[in-house]
């Protein structure tokens, strides 16, 4: 039995907004003899607005995608999105991102599974019905059958596919974003474990 690689993902998306800082001049002093002191009524004082706590789980989820196929339901005579697995989006630079998933999502000889195309839905699109939105079609192989995804030379169950630059324009207009939430390489730790067979072996553990 070959060793399995369990992938655990941690992403922290932090947005910093830098506002312009305006330095004010000295405020003229009021005449204490003619101006009565103004006391703030504690009952009517404006309380500081408390922002809801940041939940990193939301960002982790938004960097997750579902792979699926378009199937037909005879009962309703409608097509629908049928999920077959999940993946994550990892970015190596501002303009480059990859889909990372298990290799058996794209190639599984035991199941005679060699898809040339799958559809993709983002986790934040779950509010849309699988009947009304079938996802973005993603090509996995060339016309000659060569894979567009890459994997390691060993038997690691992991595959990587480059995200197309125009994927945002292929989304419905109401789903298009200026920034896509992804996992940065700095958010991924590496570790090793011993394989179940063949003695000690180094494998990457994402998490």
The whole-model pTM stands at: 0.61
Domain housing 114: 66-187
Q: Is residue 29 part of a domain?
A: no
CA distance 6 to 4: 6
Structural domain total, the chain: 1
Q: Is residue 50 part of a domain?
A: no
Q: Is residue 154 part of a domain?
A: yes
Considering only CA atoms, which of 54, 182, 66 is closest in space to residue 123?
66
Q: Is residue 36 part of a domain?
A: no
Q: Is residue 102 part of a domain?
A: yes
User: Got the DSSP string for 158-197?
Assistant: -EEEEPPTTTGGGS-GGG--SS---EEGGG--------SS
Q: Is residue 38 part of a domain?
A: no
Q: Is residue 182 part of a domain?
A: yes
Per-residue pLDDT for the chain (207 aa), expressed as one digit of tens each? 333 333 333 332 222 222 222 233 332 333 444 334 434 444 444 445 444 455 667 766 888 899 999 999 999 999 999 999 999 888 887 778 899 999 999 999 999 999 999 999 988 888 899 999 999 999 999 999 999 999 988 888 999 999 877 777 888 887 777 666 777 766 665 544 444 444 444 344 343
Q: Is residue 77 part of a domain?
A: yes
């Amino acid at each position: 039995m070959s060793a399995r690689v369990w992938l655990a993902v941690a992403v922290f998306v932090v947005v910093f907004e830098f506002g312009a800082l305006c330095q004010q001049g000295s405020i003229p002093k009021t005449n204490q003899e003619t101006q009565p002191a103004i006391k703030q009524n504690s009952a009517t004082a404006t309380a500081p607005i408390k922002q809801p706590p940041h939940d990193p789980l939301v960002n982790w989820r938004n960097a997750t995608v579902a792979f699926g196929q378009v199937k037909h339901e005879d009962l309703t005579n409608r097509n629908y999105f049928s999920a077959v697995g999940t993946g994550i989006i990892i970015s190596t630079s501002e303009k480059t991102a990859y889909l990372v998933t298990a290799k058996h999502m794209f190639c599984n000889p035991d199941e005679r599974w060699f898809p040339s195309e799958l559809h993709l839905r983002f986790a934040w699109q779950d509010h849309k019905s699988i009947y009304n939105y079938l996802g973005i079609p993603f090509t996995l192989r060339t016309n000659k059958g060569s894979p567009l995804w890459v994997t390691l030379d060993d038997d690691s169950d992991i595959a990587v596919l480059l995200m197309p630059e125009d994927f945002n324009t292929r989304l419905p207009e109401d789903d298009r974003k200026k920034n896509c939430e992804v996992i940065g390489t700095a958010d991924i730790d590496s570790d090793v474990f011993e394989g179940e067979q063949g003695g000690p072996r180094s494998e990457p553990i994402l998490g």
